[in-house]
Amino acid sequence: MKWLGRLFLVAAVAALGWWLWQTLFPGDEAQIRKLLARTARAASFSSRDGALRRMGSIAEFGNCFTPDVQVYFDMPRQGRFALEGREQMIGLAARSRDSVVAVSVTLVDVSVQLEPDHLSATAGLTARADISGEVDFSVQELKVFFRKVNGQWLIYRVESVKTLSAIRPESNLRTT
């Protein structure tokens, strides 16, 4: 039975070592997942946030994107809209804090595909937004495109995915 104890000890040390390695030297996919989690956290806010925290989270949100980021959304109720550039993303984050009291954004079912060159990647995910004052949460399937810039992964394109598509009365494409 001594050997069983030693086997458990070796397995525990190996697991700890693997965890430490993953934490200190995360792979590309882990970095991308961390970036997505950071983006969701920065997009979330509550009425209790002070001015400093608010500014910090808006800046952090903007830093998740490349300067030439492109965002294309086509969603029920919101219609179609497009954004281009990091400045517009920062503006959107600031305006959302003015128009809504609190939002909690979570990203679920994230699947990451790395390109063979390990310099670009794509992720499919579902974004869930719990907006204060609304009974039901909003969901949207998204496709997010990443690029490695100076060793750091950043988002350069976001598209909404039409899970259910139907021909409806056309709404004009608007840019903000």
Partner 1 sequence: MMSGEPNQTTLPHWLKVVLIGRNPRVTIIRLAVTVVLLVCTARFMLIPIRMQGPSMRPTYEDRGINLLNRLAYLRRGPSRGDVVAIRLAGPSIMFMKRVVGLPGETVEFIDGQLYVNGQPQKEPYVKFPCHWDMPKQRLSPTQYFVVGDNRDMPIQDHTFGVAERARILGRVLL
Where in 99-128 is the site for partner 1 (CB under 8 A)?
108-111, 124-126, 128
Indicate whether 164 belongs to the interface with partner 1 (CB under 8 A): yes
Nearer to partner 1, 67 or 76 (CB): 76
| CA angle (81, 82, 83) in 5-degree steps | 135
Q: Tell me, letter by letter, the H, E, C secondary structure of 77-104.
A: CCEEEEEECHHHHHHHHHHHHHHCCCEE
Q: Give how far the C-alpha of residue 9 lies from the chain's centroid of Cα atoms, to the nearest Å.
A: 38
Indicate whether 173 belongs to the interface with partner 1 (CB under 8 A): no
Q: Tell me if residue 169 falls in helix, strand or coil.
A: coil
Least Cα distance to 138 among 76, 69, 54, 83 occurs for 76
Q: What mask, x for binding partner 1 by CB under 8 A, covers residues 46 to 85?
A: ------------------------------xx-x------
Residue 167 C-beta: closest distance to partner 1, Å: 5
The C-alpha atoms of residue 88 and residue 176 are separated, in whole angstroms, by: 8
Residue 51 C-beta: closest distance to partner 1, Å: 34
Indicate whether 171 belongs to the interface with partner 1 (CB under 8 A): yes
**Cross-strand partners of 157:** 70, 145
Residue 4 C-beta: closest distance to partner 1, Å: 17
Indicate whether 150 belongs to the interface with partner 1 (CB under 8 A): no
Question: Amino acid identity of 106?
Answer: T
Q: Which one among 168, 174, 175, 176 touches partner 1, defined by CB under 8 A? A: 168
Both tokens of 105, joined, read 């954004």
Indicate whether 152 belongs to the interface with partner 1 (CB under 8 A): no
**Contact positions toward partner 1, by CB under 8 A?**
76-77, 79, 108-111, 124-126, 128, 135-137, 139, 141-142, 161-169, 171
